[in-house]
Chains A and B, each alone.
Chain A
Amino acid sequence: METFRAFISMVKDSIGYITHGSKVYHVWMFFLSLIILIGMYFYAIQLEEGLSATGMTDRVSWGLYISNFTFLVGVAAAAVMLVMPTYVLKDIDFKQAVLIGEGLAVAALIMCLAFVVADMGGPSVLWHMIPGIGVFNFPSSMLTWDIIVLNGYLFINITIPLYILFRHYQGKEAKAKVYVPGSILSVLWAVGIHLVTAFLYEGLQARPFWNNALLGPRFLASAFAAGPALIILVLAAIRKFSEFKIEDKTIKKIALIVTVAAQINLIMLVSELFKEFYAPTHHSESAYYLFFGLDGKTALLPWIWTAIPLNVLATILLTFHKLRNNLNILYICCFMLFIAIWIEKGFGLIVPGFIPGPYGKIAEYTPTWVEIWVTLGIWALGAFIFTMLAKTSIGIELGKLRYKKKRAVQTETT
């Protein structure tokens, strides 16, 4: 009963805490809400008109939504890079960062689910997918696997930080016996969500661009570069805007992870390029389209040729210890890497998979404003959720939010 009361109190306190803050905080949250509302408005248009309001066609049937979904699964999976050393190897450095990382994972997962829903033709019948009430084509459909792993991962990433925060809120230490097994599970699970998402594409014999054994490992490598890169940027922002102390050492350790992952990613990119262009078959046409254009259709060239130099440059810069240890350069590199991988694992992966079509026909894809605004709205939603989660956990970790038993007793007596 006491626990329950404490929990209620924590929820109340955190609601109070997240609705109060500095001017910058309020402006930021207002800005995000505005974007979310605009996104909702455009989503309403999309619901009304159908998916014809987007740039997708029978030729390119997945676009910006699924691109972002794919990328964000990677970001979510990257939280594991922080969980592993902290919980399991008891690395103190990461402990402050890990709650942020898991908050990021939760926000990313919610964005993933939002993107999938936004991409659905019939959101009103989504209950057909719920096991038990609907029909769940498990294990045949990789999409059902993805639903399981994503929701499972979301659950793990909500419960572990919640448990730790709740203990801290009550002024107690979190019991390792409780959260360590969960953490180990989440480590395995994180690899799982990304592999399964890769298998979603890899398993389609119809699309040679995706049907490629390197896709899964490349997903992992790029995720472990882009995810922690984003975490570094977020930590930098938190350092700036709150009293939460994050040591340079922590950021530098994460930077090392980013570097190694980015290097591996680059090696795999080279291997992929070699295969596609040294002995090109007609299965290489998608890659040709992506990198050089096909039949005068060149819509993706500006994207990919932004991504590749950014990717290479950032990886090279990060490789040098001196440059990496300069925090300003590190932040710039992380930003470049994040953008590069967002393009590469989003647009650069999904769209060329459909081009050329099964019979060689090329119809290019350009997202419409409806799509772009819905996408921005979902990103804003993610940022909104993350800000709330981060603020609460920082508040608890800093000891600003503490369970006051007295108050509970007082209310009882009155």
Chain B
Amino acid sequence: MGDKKKWFSLDFGVSKGEAVSTNSSCGCGSTSGGCGSHNAPPKKEPVASSCGCGSTSDGCGSHTMPKNEYLITAEEFDAAVEGTMVGETRKDGFQQVFDVKMDRRTAFRKLTASLLIGAGAVQTSCSAIAGEETKEKAQIDWEEQFKGNYKLMTQEEKQATVDRLVRSYQLRKKENIKMSATDASKDVLFGYAFNISKCQGYMNCISACVEENNQDRNSQMQYIRIHEMKDGQGFKFNEADDNYYHEVPAAGHFYMGTQCFHCDDPPCVDVCPVEATWREEDGLVVIDYDWCIGCRYCMAACPYDGRRFNWSKPEVPEAEVNKNQHYLGNRMRKKGVMEKCTFCIQRSRSGNDPACVEACPTGARIFGNLLDPDSTIRWVLENKQVFRLKEDLGTEPKFWYFMD
């Protein structure tokens, strides 16, 4: 982390020496601590109220503090126990998606949870006997709670938060995930074309999308909708069925898929009060789930029904979790944040097709680089009769429809 900090950061789990001596130390964000700051030798003299300085930019595996260094007196033991207890309350307060011990929360605890966060976190870090893992979790939670907006992070900070999330998942679920933070490549602008004469309404795209992007199974959240429209009636979305269950293609009907169109002038991005959603250089409109405050203004602003909200805690059975993740893509979400199609950023940024394109058995979905004159998407745009939905709104979607 550089000298110029863009946001408030706080670190509390620093050197163990301080921790034993008191349970009322205050953490203050420092600018330059690497991993090494956690391995600092313990201070000998007890300090009444010490100030722990660390950094937020260190990776996760850095908490290698030997346990046997501590001599615990009865008094300190009591203080430590207290710390542990408060620490648990604090953990309860967190609304992190990976918090498995949800049911222990009590309603009123939650009301005051945010107030307890600070005190609890400090105490946890300072209690000597709290399990190393608990402490590490608390440290990660703290840093995650007070990290900045991904859009404004430096490369190191991005990597640090990705490392924390991976480590956090490991600690909580005992499973390893792979998370990337690949940035947009130069000379890439993603575009999508949808062939309405080819789509047969099998909905393989929807299933593949749900599995790929770890969408909430309880609410059956889906990014893609396939509208079954009557031939000869024009686009009557209101009369179209987007949740049919009969043999397809139905006679006299055609099918049209909608999802986030990754507008080039996206109204959802303009309205977000905290810049939690933005358009990347390669044209993808993405969301920093951890920065989103859940006001749903973007949802109201989207003319294409492209955005989804996590009304309750999203749940995916552990066995079905797609562990190949991207920070801006399919990583696990929490309740109360927006999410949406990212053209499978975790796939597309590394050259693969989005899951819907791969899953479509008809080849109705075409994806590619708009800046590459030899790409198939460019050929479609230049040689087929293409149109976009609600073009008059001036949102410039990068999602075209065409017919054979």
Contact = CB atoms under 8 A, between A and B. Distances in A.
Interface of A: 40-41, 43-45, 47-52, 56-58, 61-62, 116, 119-126, 128-129, 133-137, 140-144, 147, 203-207, 285, 353-354, 356-361
A204 B296 contact: no
A357 B114 CA distance: 36
A121 B298 CA distance: 13
A317 to B, nearest CB: 37
24 contacts: A45-B107, A47-B107, A48-B110, A50-B310, A61-B309, A119-B296, A120-B295, A121-B292, A121-B296, A121-B338, A124-B113, A125-B292, A125-B293, A128-B149, A129-B273, A134-B274, A135-B152, A137-B273, A140-B270, A141-B297, A143-B271, A285-B238, A359-B240, A360-B236
Nearest to B277: A137
Interface in B290-309: 290-297, 299-305, 308-309
Contact of B299 (A58, A126, A136): A58
A320 B384 CA distance: 67
Interface of B: 7-8, 93-95, 105, 107-108, 110-111, 113-114, 117, 145, 148-149, 151-152, 219, 225, 227, 236-240, 242, 258, 267, 270-276, 290-297, 299-305, 308-313, 334-338, 393-395
A285 B238 CA distance: 11
Given A48-B110, A124-B114, A144-B273, A358 B293 contact: no
A346 to B, nearest CB: 16
B258 A204 contact: no
Nearest to B256: A359
Contact of B293 (A57, A58, A128, A354): A128
Leading 6 A-B pairs by shortest Cβ distance? A121-B294, A360-B238, A121-B336, A206-B303, A44-B107, A52-B311
A206 B302 contact: yes
A40 B111 contact: yes
A196 to B, nearest CB: 13
Nearest to B306: A358
B111 A47 contact: yes
Contacts of B240: 359-360
A41 B305 CA distance: 33
A205 B304 CA distance: 11
Given A47-B107, A122-B336, A141-B297, 6 more contacts: A44-B111, A121-B295, A121-B296, A124-B114, A358-B303, A359-B227
Given A50-B313, A121-B309, A205 B274 contact: no
Contacts of A358: 302-305
Contacts of A43: 111
Contact of B309 (A51, A147, A353): A51
Contacts of B293: 120-122, 125-126, 128-129
A58 B108 CA distance: 28
B311 A50 contact: yes
A134 B272 CA distance: 13
Contacts of B108: 44
Given A120-B336, A135-B152, A147 B301 contact: no
Contact of B274 (A51, A61, A128): A128
Contacts of B393: 205-206
A56 B312 CA distance: 11
B258 A359 contact: yes
Contacts of B302: 206, 358
A123 B237 CA distance: 36
A359 B242 contact: yes
Contacts of B308: 58
B120 to A, nearest CB: 13
B273 A147 contact: yes
Given A121-B293, A126-B293, A134 B311 contact: no
A45 B108 CA distance: 9
Contacts of B295: 116, 119-121, 143
B301 A206 contact: yes
A142 B238 contact: no
Nearest to A133: B8
B7 A134 contact: yes
A12 B114 CA distance: 30
Contacts of B148: 135
Nearest to A360: B238
A205 B105 contact: no
B297 A143 contact: yes
A342 B53 CA distance: 52
A359 B302 CA distance: 11
A354 B300 contact: yes
A119 to B, nearest CB: 7
Nearest to B297: A143
A359 B149 contact: no
A141 B305 contact: no
Contacts of B336: 50-51, 120-122
Contacts of A141: 270-273, 297
A64 B7 CA distance: 34
A40 B112 CA distance: 11
Contacts of B310: 50, 121
Contacts of A48: 105, 107, 110
Contacts of B294: 51, 120-122
A128 B313 CA distance: 21
B118 to A, nearest CB: 12
B1 to A, nearest CB: 16
Given A48-B110, A121-B294, A134-B7, A204 B301 contact: yes
A203 to B, nearest CB: 8
Contacts of B305: 58, 357-359
Given A119-B295, A204-B271, A41 B107 contact: yes
Nearest to A144: B273
A136 B7 contact: no
Contacts of A120: 293-295, 336
A204 B394 CA distance: 12
Nearest to B218: A52
A44 B300 contact: no
A41 B313 CA distance: 20
B113 A206 contact: no
B371 to A, nearest CB: 26
Contacts of B117: 124
Given A136-B274, A358-B302, A122 B95 contact: yes
Contacts of A142: 271
